[in-house]
Structure 1
Amino acid sequence: MAQLDKTSFQLPIENPAAEDFLPLLGTDYVELYVGNAKQAAHYYMSAWGFQPLAYAGLETGLKDRVSYVLQQDKIRLVLTSPLKSGGDINRHIDAHGDGVKSIALWVDDATKSYQETTKRGAESYMEPKTMEDDKGKVVVSGIHTYGETVHLFVERGDYKGVFMPGFRAWDPVYKPSDVGLKYIDHMVGNVGWNEMNKWCQFYEKVMGFAQLVSFDDKDISTEYTALMSKVMSNGNGRIKFPINEPAEGKKKSQIEEYIEFYNGAGVQHMAMATDNIIETVTALKNRGVEFLTVPSSYYEDVLDRVGEIDEDLEPLSELGILIDRDDEGYLLQIFTKPILDRPTMFIEIIQRKGAKSFGKGNFKALFEAIEREQESRGTL
């Protein structure tokens, strides 16, 4: 991996209530446990424009698993599958299907990050471990968060290799072009009934985060379903974790559906940022990615609600891209249908034109679109 200039991460404090004692420089990578990493890698390359970066498996000395590493700008995905029956990866896939196991956070000091979080009550997942090869060393540690999800702290300032020790460069002939995805804007976790505050307190106490915004069932509800959500962020605003829980409604909400099929709490979606959402979504649709749709009536009065925007409304309407505004500016966003067979994880594409919020004005239209999908699956 090209080494990123750390000076670019010395950002002004965006969330002054956060203690930011770690601190976190950004998202290092997201690891998904999947049933077939080779085929999953082909999907994320072909449909999503990720580029091949690194590989670890039998050829590199691993006997129990294989991992493919993909990258697009600052977004890195690690896709890991088991090579033998039994073991934790198989059990995880059997329980949850494909899904996010690790959210790896880039830090200056993985040992200090581990010590600071565990002394504040975090359950240890991995004590600090140093991995070395002729390209240098990487230190990794980890803690548990909601469900079976873990946070890894990755210290790579002394490493010049492609990804980390144990991996080799992966350079296949097939390299579809990227689609303009830049970085992970936020990652959303779904937790069980009445667990949202517990996990928000975890991020506040254990990791020094602070609440950016909250939404209750009056904000996020339709005639049939509702949920509650709070957004936790670190001080520099690079890491934002909205936490959702179900709320009472007439029918089964998307959060309940997720928890039923994922068998517990987990990552519901990754929001990936782009600088040109029209070009990105057009490319994704041309590659077969399916998005939720809203009625054309959404666009009849949307500009009355959000005011003037730079983009023409027609291509936004044709693609189904939603618009919302806050005191800082506006944003454009769209959500895929579940990208897995189980109705669990999906991906959001977001372009921020100054806005710091999460599209509150779109919640009703979005949730009605999700309910239409739930109804087609017979899970509403």
Structure 2
Amino acid sequence: MNALGNTGFQDMSIDHVTLYVEDLDAKAAELARTYGLEVYATAVAEDGARSAAVGRERIRLVLTEAVADDHPAAVYTRLHGEGVADIALKVPDAAAAFAEAVRRGAQPAAEPAEQDGVTTASVMAFGDVRHTFVQRHEGVPGDRLPGYVPAQGHEPGAPTGLLEIDHFAVCLEPGELQPVVEFYERVLGFRNTFTEKIVVGSQAMDSEVVQNPSGMVTLTLIEPDTRREPGQIDFFIKNHGGAGVQHIAFRTEDIVRSVGTIRTQGVDFLTTPATYYRMLGDRLRLVRHSTDRLAALNILADEDHAGQLFQIFTRSVHPRRTLFFEVIERAGATTFGSGNIKALYEAVEAEQQG
């Protein structure tokens, strides 16, 4: 594609993720208690919202609650409920990244602005989700956010071993997959790293993975196949009110420890039929963990050409049953566990047949 020049697209990484929420205090407390995150900064914006930054290791989530009916967070939550509004990207030069993205066809959302030694600028991505370019000037702490002050009186949750955001899963409306892939390739210099059609019984979906050159920003883009029966992607689009982030995957180096801790702290995970684990040995030879330990926690296992992965999904507590989280451990694998979709379907079929 186009030369990346000095925009810093090739070196970008995830800076933080902004979620618009309806009850800031409750959501911040929940993430601290269950996922071991810490409220480290807060802000009261002049435009009618209050925010808190929570995080641990390389995970940073910004929670924003509207206190004015015309604030974007209020508009967003009325349409979608709580969800991801901005995937912010750290770059060496936010103004240059913004100018180049707009030159390549991105829709501008917020012009470059500097505050507290941090320059930001935003473009639209998919649905109502933005990408904000973030540049911190020399001497500015790596977690500084413009307009935020250090939080007081918040106890961090117990560590859970979650390290960073591995990827985002994005549900797109029919016909949007190729235009969104093309946007990431043409505008942000991403590359398409994996393409797959997933067929499960009478349902099907098309998936393409886009990733920036450094490998630090990865999105799995999914579109339903409307020639088949409606499935989970159709469900998300209907209940979310359009395209959006279905789940955020957090990476860990020990999924058994992380999931055990998070579950003890109150998170409910999806369960897996016992037949899945009885059939697991026919699919692969585990390089980490034992089948019994995986089964005890309902953790899934899969492998690709590069290695294995272990993953589990939380049960959505969203009122619309849309946004949820994933915990993933990679033992070399570079894909996203699509083999588990087929394996789970076959396990359920076997269980139903006795």
Is TM (by shorter chain) over 0.5?
A: yes
Matches within 5 A, 1:228-247: 228-247=206-225
Matches within 5 A, 1:317-336: 317-336=295-314
Shift of 1:309: 1.6
Secondary structure, in 3 states, of the residue corresponding to 1:183?
strand
- Does residue 338 (structure 1) correspond to residue 316 (structure 2)? The answer is yes
Distance 1:47 1:126, change over 3 A: same
Higher strand share: 2
Moved more, 203-212 or 334-343: 334-343
- Does residue 65 (structure 1) correspond to residue 49 (structure 2)? The answer is yes
Kept after mapping to 1: 8 A contact 2:39/2:154:
no
Instruction: Provide the residue aligned with 1:44 in structure 2.
Output: 31
Instruction: Provide the residue aligned with 1:207 in structure 2.
Output: 188
Distance 1:272 1:51, change over 3 A: same
- Percentage identity across aligned positions? 33
Alpha-carbon separation, structure 1, partners of 2:280 and 2:2: 34
Shift of 1:19: 6.0
Shift of 1:144: 0.2
4+ residue runs of structure 1 moved beyond 6 angstroms? 367-370
Shift of 1:85: 2.4
Kept after mapping to 2: 8 A contact 1:223/1:250:
no
1:362 to 313, 336, 340: 340
Instruction: Provide the residue aligned with 2:163 in structure 1.
Output: 182
Shift of 1:366: 5.0
- Does residue 165 (structure 1) correspond to residue 146 (structure 2)? The answer is yes
Distance 1:95 1:173, change over 3 A: closer
Instruction: Provide the residue aligned with 1:300 in structure 2.
Output: 278
Instruction: Provide the residue aligned with 1:150 in structure 2.
Output: 130
Kept after mapping to 1: 8 A contact 2:163/2:250:
yes
Instruction: Provide the residue aligned with 1:54 in structure 2.
Output: 41
Secondary structure, in 3 states, of the residue corresponding to 1:339?
coil
Shift of 1:367: 6.5
Matches within 5 A, 1:366-377: none
Alpha-carbon separation, structure 1, partners of 2:108 and 2:345: 36
Moved more, 91-100 or 356-365: 356-365
- Does residue 32 (structure 1) correspond to residue 19 (structure 2)? The answer is yes
Show CA shifts across 1:126-153 (max 9, x none): 1111113xxxx10101100110000000
TM-score (norm 1): 0.86
TM-score (norm 2): 0.92
Alpha-carbon separation, structure 1, partners of 2:154 and 2:16: 24
Show CA shifts across 1:28-79 (max 9, x none): 000000111111101111111111110002xxx6361100100111000000
Alpha-carbon separation, structure 1, partners of 2:286 and 2:76: 47
For structure 2, the 5+ residue unaligned runs are: 349-354
Kept after mapping to 2: 8 A contact 1:54/1:162:
no
Show CA shifts across 1:96-116 (max 9, x none): 000000000111110111111
Secondary structure, in 3 states, of the residue corresponding to 2:234?
helix
Shift of 1:294: 1.7
Shift of 1:157: 3.7
Amino acid at match of 1:153: F
